[in-house]
């Protein structure tokens, strides 16, 4: 009755018990005191069970609801062991042995034993708790078992300033007018409670407010009664510790989620930056390859033009390409290689797989395309120059053909009509004799023109062999001349036969006319040939050639006095004819019947020859001056090229030597290389000046230079190689600085790495072959088998080039100590955000991550198809592995 009364009045205090016992009179027997003490202990146990029972039940349901179930009566619902095993699986995240599904007692005992064995496997000692008591519904044993589970999985890792202290928990959170629990929530979630508005005089209201907010916002079920806590001098510590532990896990989980989100944000930011760099590389590589693809067909086009002007235009276009279009592409190619090396270094530092560009866009592919471009470029320039020489030769031959053909056509004009005449039939003896002599003179003239006709035919044939664009008209004109020449030969022969038949009838021959004709015709041919030679075009490429022409012209001038004597002799014959006619008053014409060459014609042509001689002198002297100017251009270009060429070679050797021999801090090495680069850039004006001199040489059509072995192409290639080498060397030092800073390598370590590398670099070219690298590893204590060495070589020489660079050597030496994220760390971070589920939902990503990176994950995560999948579940495990190249996602 006494116990029942106390239970009905929860506010009753227990402080009366010591006073009650002490106030009993001495007349009361000791057996009554024992009885009262037993009643007091029984009452305490009943109140404890009444307090702990709902707390433990709520705690169990807070975990079981994750599996979609709950319990109503703790001592009944755990009797078959099924929900007990399920509870342990939920709170531990591990699989227990498969439970027995039978309903017999031994099935239940077997399930409970599996649960108790699992608890014992975690280092928990179960004292006086057996499976039979749990199966029989023993409340005390069941609650004791639940308390053991709570201690192990919820409270064991919680400590205050280094040690567990339940009394401190009770005193702090459930005293101070009920403000302690509110203060705990306000500390971690100030948005849930306005601490300044709490009423210190309402402890029950403050505790109820805290428990309601925890249930609504923190997913912590209400496990305690505020009135019991406030009105009981010593509330049950197990219930309070169980409830308070839920706050620890809730707030600790939030902190873990924040840490995991930060880690994921960091990893995703790095991955997004790497993807941006990869896309930028792909874009730049595509643009450069597309430019090369468009340029090579232009350089490989060997369709010749028909005129010198058109070919000169092509040469000018090629100069624009070399000076304006190609240099920026050289810089783009160099920058593309630098970006590729930097990207690969960043990927290695962040523990990402190496970047493999799309098919056909590797650095080696770009280098191969560039080599094909330069090969086509070299062949194109050679073709242009050869084609210009060919067209120049063709123009000269065509003009020479036109001159000779015009001269021959003028000479042959009307000859066929003359040969077809039959004037000898009505002529006198004298006239016939004259006709015969005239015909003999014509035959002599015809024979003299034989060489000219052969020259015309030879020039036409050469024009055909050189593929002259107007060869058809040349062939037609040549064919007409040849046909006319054959006709003249035939007609000449027929007329001679007719005159010889008539000669027997005609016996008078004017010997003087005949002599005039015989001497005037060759002299006339000589004058015509001299005029042709004096007006002939010439092409020379050196001072020696023009001096040879001047010498020949001087020899020609030396023959002029003799020719003048012949001219006077011929004119004296005609003068003698006229004298005879005049002396004898002859009634015949003074014209020579045997020759078409007149005295006036001889005089005219002789004056023409005398006019052409000084003109020829002037043109030869002008050409001599031009050749001297060309020689000065050659010497001027050679003087600069012989300085610039060795300077470039010296700088190349200095850069190669500095990359091996430089010591000290990498920043000092970088400054030294930057100084080298600036010196090289400052030297650019010498290259530009040499380009200007080279252009003058080409415009002057100078094609050789005996004063130097350096061509402009050699200088250009050497200059481009020098710029590429210094840029690549600077990039290597920048990569070493990036590696040093990312992996925490000291300058002393970098010096040691450089000393070791240089020691085993036998060829001193900045590369170690496989044997050198093996010797280096053995010297550092590596016990290498063939398989291990092959594995290491796949790391330092992934492309199988047979050499190891200094950067690969540094990456290998520092790989083991790098502080980088791994796929396992990212998976663990996602598991925290997913509340230990094997999948994660889009809403959870949006809640825990920034919007941009949350959307990045949602877009790239594959659907989760494993056990327990729900609609919209995303597989963060496959996604994390793909980030580090550990899957084909």
Q: Render 488-507 in DSSP notation, one character per residue.
A: HHHHHHHHHHHHHHHHTT--
One-character DSSP codes across 58-114? HHHHHHHGGGT---S-HHHHTTTSHHHHHHHHHHH--PPPPPP---SHHHHHHHHHH
Task: Name the band, by pLDDT with cuts 50, 70 and 90, for residue 689.
Answer: very high
Nearest to 724 by CA among 658, 660, 680, 675: 680
Nearest to 333 by CA among 271, 395, 279, 285: 285
Average pLDDT over residues 535-540: 82
The pLDDT assigned to 16 comes to 37
Answer yes or no: are the C-beta atoms of 343 and 278 closer than 8 Å. yes
CA 182 to CA 198: how far, in whole Å? 9
Task: Name the band, by pLDDT with cuts 50, 70 and 90, for residue 2.
Answer: very low
Mean pLDDT across the chain, nearest whole number? Answer: 79
One-character DSSP codes across 558-616? HTHHHHHHHHHHHHHHHHHHHHHHHHHT--S-SS-TT-S--HHHHHHHHHHHHHHHHHH
Task: Name the band, by pLDDT with cuts 50, 70 and 90, for residue 175.
Answer: low
CB atoms within 10 A of CB 413: 10
Please classify residue 151 by burial: count the beta carbons closer than 10 Å to its beta carbon, then call 0-12 exposed, 13-18 middle and 19+ buried.
Answer: middle
One-character DSSP codes across 64-79? HGGGT---S-HHHHTT
Average pLDDT over residues 597-619: 90
Answer yes or no: are the C-beta atoms of 665 and 754 closer than 8 Å. no
Which conformational region is residue 836 in: left (phi greater than 0), alpha (psi within -120 to 50 degrees), or beta? left
Answer yes or no: are the C-beta atoms of 109 and 132 closer than 8 Å. yes
Residue 590 has pLDDT above 70, yes or no: no
Tokens of 170: 């009770």
Average pLDDT over residues 638-644: 91
CB atoms within 10 A of CB 343: 21
- Angle, CA of 740, 277 and 340, to the nearest 5°: 60
Nearest to 600 by CA among 33, 129, 592: 592
Task: Name the band, by pLDDT with cuts 50, 70 and 90, for residue 118.
Answer: confident
Task: Name the band, by pLDDT with cuts 50, 70 and 90, for residue 507.
Answer: very low
- Tell me the β-bridge partners of 840: 874
Distance of CA 145 to the CA centre of its chain: 66
SS3 at position 840:
strand
Quick: pLDDT tens for 400-431.
Answer: 888 988 988 888 888 888 888 877 666 666 77
The pLDDT assigned to 48 comes to 52
Residue 755 has pLDDT above 70, yes or no: yes
3-class secondary structure for 409-468? HHHHCCHHHHHHCCHHHCCCHHHHHHHHHHHHHHHHHHHHCHHHHHHHHHHHHHHHHCCC
> Which has more confidence, 627 or 884?
627
> Among the listed ranges 588-592, 740-744, 775-779, which one has the minimum average pLDDT value?
588-592
SS3 at position 127:
coil
Residue 7 has pLDDT above 50, yes or no: no
Q: What is the DSSP letter of 178?
A: G
Tokens of 494: 């027929």
The pLDDT assigned to 41 comes to 45
* CA dist 74 → 57, 84, 145, 155, 660 (Å): 6, 10, 11, 20, 78
Which conformational region is residue 380 in: left (phi greater than 0), alpha (psi within -120 to 50 degrees), or beta? alpha
Query: What's this model's pTM, rounded to 2 decimal places?
Result: 0.36
> Which has more confidence, 450 or 584?
450
SS3 at position 685:
helix
CA 857 to CA 877: how far, in whole Å? 12
CA 167 to CA 175: how far, in whole Å? 11
- Tell me the β-bridge partners of 767: 805
* CA dist 57 → 52, 70, 146 (Å): 8, 9, 9
Task: Name the band, by pLDDT with cuts 50, 70 and 90, for residue 34.
Answer: low
SS3 at position 863:
strand
The residues, ordered by sequence, that sit 6+ positions from 195 with a Cβ below 8 Å of its Cβ are: 179, 182, 183, 186
The pLDDT assigned to 604 comes to 92
Average pLDDT over residues 446-463: 87
> Among the listed ranges 212-216, 288-292, 413-417, 508-512, which one has the minimum average pLDDT value?
508-512
Per-state percent for the chain, helix, strand, coil, to nearest 5: 75, 0, 25
Answer yes or no: are the C-beta atoms of 241 and 193 closer than 8 Å. no
> Which has more confidence, 690 or 174?
690
Average pLDDT over residues 763-785: 78
* CA dist 170 → 59, 237, 239, 693 (Å): 18, 7, 10, 96
The pLDDT assigned to 682 comes to 92
Helices and strands counted in the chain (H then E) = 35, 2
CA 772 to CA 226: how far, in whole Å? 79
Average pLDDT over residues 768-772: 84
The residues, ordered by sequence, that sit 6+ positions from 479 with a Cβ below 8 Å of its Cβ are: none
The pLDDT assigned to 157 comes to 67
Task: Name the band, by pLDDT with cuts 50, 70 and 90, for residue 885.
Answer: low
The sign of the torsion formed by the CA atoms of 660, 662, 664, 669 equals negative
Quick: pLDDT tens for 53-68.
Answer: 888 888 898 888 888 8
- Tell me the β-bridge partners of 874: 840, 863
The pLDDT assigned to 366 comes to 86
The residues, ordered by sequence, that sit 6+ positions from 438 with a Cβ below 8 Å of its Cβ are: 517, 593, 594, 595
The pLDDT assigned to 19 comes to 40
The pLDDT assigned to 8 comes to 39
| First-to-final CA distance of the chain | 74
CA 601 to CA 594: how far, in whole Å? 15
Most confidently modeled range among 138-142, 577-581, 786-790 = 138-142
Answer yes or no: are the C-beta atoms of 594 and 516 closer than 8 Å. yes
Residue 624 has pLDDT above 80, yes or no: yes
The pLDDT assigned to 258 comes to 65
Quick: pLDDT tens for 513-531.
Answer: 778 888 888 989 999 899 8
């Amino acid at each position: 009755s006494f116990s029942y009364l106390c239970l009905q009045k929860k506010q009753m205090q227990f402080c009366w018990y010591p006073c009650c016992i002490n106030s009993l009179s001495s007349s009361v027997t000791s057996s009554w005191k024992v009885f009262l003490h037993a009643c007091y202990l029984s009452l305490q146990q009943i109140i404890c069970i009444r307090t702990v029972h709902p707390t433990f039940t709520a705690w169990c349901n807070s975990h079981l609801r994750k599996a979609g179930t709950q319990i109503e009566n703790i001592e009944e619902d755990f009797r078959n062991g099924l929900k007990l095993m399920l509870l342990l699986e939920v709170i531990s995240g591990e699989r227990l042995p498969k439970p027995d599904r039978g309903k017999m007692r031994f099935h239940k005992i077997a399930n409970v034993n599996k649960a108790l064995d699992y608890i014992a496997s975690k280092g928990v000692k179960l004292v006086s708790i057996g499976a039979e008591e749990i199966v029989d519904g023993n409340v005390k044993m069941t609650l004791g078992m639940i308390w053991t589970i709570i201690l192990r999985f919820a409270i064991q890792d919680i400590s205050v300033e280094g040690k567990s202290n339940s009394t401190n928990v009770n005193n702090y959170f459930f005293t101070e007018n009920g403000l302690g629990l509110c203060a705990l929530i306000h500390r971690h979630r100030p948005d849930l409670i306005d601490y300044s508005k709490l009423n210190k005089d309402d402890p029950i209201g403050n505790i109820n407010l805290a428990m309601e907010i925890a249930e609504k916002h923190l997913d912590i079920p209400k496990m305690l009664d505020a009135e019991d806590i406030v009105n009981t001098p010593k509330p049950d510590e197990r219930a309070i510790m169980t409830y308070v532990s839920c706050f620890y896990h809730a707030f600790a989980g939030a902190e873990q989620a924040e840490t995991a989100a930060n880690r994921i944000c960091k990893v995703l930011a790095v991955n997004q930056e790497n993807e941006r760099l990869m896309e930028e590389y792909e874009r730049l590589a595509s643009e450069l390859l597309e430019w090369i693809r468009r340029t090579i067909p232009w350089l490989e086009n060997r369709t010749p033009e028909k005129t010198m002007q058109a070919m000169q235009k092509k040469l000018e276009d090629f100069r624009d390409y070399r000076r304006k279009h190609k240099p920026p592409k050289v810089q783009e190619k160099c920058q593309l290689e630098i970006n590729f090396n930097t990207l690969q270094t960043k990927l290695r530092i962040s523990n990402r797989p190496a970047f493999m560009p799309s098919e056909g866009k590797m650095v080696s592919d770009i280098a191969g395309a560039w080599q094909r471009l330069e090969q086509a470029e070299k062949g194109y320039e050679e073709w242009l120059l050869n084609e210009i020489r060919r067209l120049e030769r063709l123009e000269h031959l065509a003009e020479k053909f036109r001159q000779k053909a015009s001269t021959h056509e003028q000479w042959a004009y009307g000859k066929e009509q003359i040969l077809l005449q039959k004037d000898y039939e009505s002529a006198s003896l004298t006239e016939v004799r004259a006709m015969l002599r005239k015909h003999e003179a014509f035959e002599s003239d015809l024979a003299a023109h034989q060489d000219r006709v052969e020259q015309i035919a030879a020039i036409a044939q050469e024009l055909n062999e050189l593929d002259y664009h107007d060869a058809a008209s040349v062939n037609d004109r040549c064919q007409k001349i040849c046909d006319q020449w054959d006709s003249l030969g035939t007609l000449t022969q027929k007329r001679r036969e007719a005159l010889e038949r008539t000669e027997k009838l005609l016996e008078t021959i004017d010997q003087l006319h005949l002599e005039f004709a015989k001497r005037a015709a060759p002299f006339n041919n000589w004058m015509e040939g001299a005029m042709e030679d004096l007006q002939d075009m010439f092409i020379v490429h050196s001072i020696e050639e023009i001096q040879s022409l001047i010498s020949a012209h001087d020899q020609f001038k030396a023959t002029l006095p003799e020719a003048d004597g012949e001219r006077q002799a011929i004119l004296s014959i005609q003068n003698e004819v006229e004298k005879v006619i005049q002396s004898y008053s002859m009634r015949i014409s003074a014209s020579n019947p045997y020759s078409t060459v007149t005295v006036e014609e001889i005089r005219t042509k002789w004056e023409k020859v005398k006019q052409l001689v000084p003109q020829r002198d002037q043109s030869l002297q002008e050409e001599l001056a031009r050749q001297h100017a060309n020689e000065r251009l050659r010497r001027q270009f050679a003087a600069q090229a012989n300085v610039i060429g060795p300077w470039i070679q010296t700088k190349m050797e200095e850069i190669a030597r500095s990359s091996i021999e430089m010591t000290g801090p990498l920043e000092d090495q970088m400054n030294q290389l930057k100084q080298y680069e600036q010196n090289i850039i400052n030297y650019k004006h010498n290259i530009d000046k040499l380009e200007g001199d080279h252009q003058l040489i080409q415009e002057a059509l100078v094609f050789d230079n005996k004063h130097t072995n350096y061509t402009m192409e050699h200088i250009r290639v050497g200059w481009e190689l020098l710029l590429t080498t210094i840029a690549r060397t600077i990039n290597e030092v920048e990569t070493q600085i990036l590696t040093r800073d990312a992996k925490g390598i000291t300058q002393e370590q970098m010096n040691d790495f450089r000393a070791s590398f240089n020691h085993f670099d036998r060829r001193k070219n900045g590369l170690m072959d496989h044997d050198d690298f093996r010797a280096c590893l053995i010297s550092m204590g590596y016990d290498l088998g063939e398989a291990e060495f092959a594995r290491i070589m796949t790391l330092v020489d992934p492309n199988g080039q047979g050499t190891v660079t200094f950067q690969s050597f540094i990456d290998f030496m520092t790989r083991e100590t790098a502080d980088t994220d791994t796929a396992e760390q990212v998976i663990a971070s996602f598991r925290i955000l997913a509340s230990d589920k094997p999948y994660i939902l889009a809403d959870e990503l949006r809640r825990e991550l920034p919007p941009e990176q949350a959307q990045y994950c949602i877009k790239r995560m594959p659907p989760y198809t494993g056990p327990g999948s729900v609609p919209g579940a995303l597989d963060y495990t496959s996604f994390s592995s793909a980030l580090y190249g550990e899957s084909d996602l």
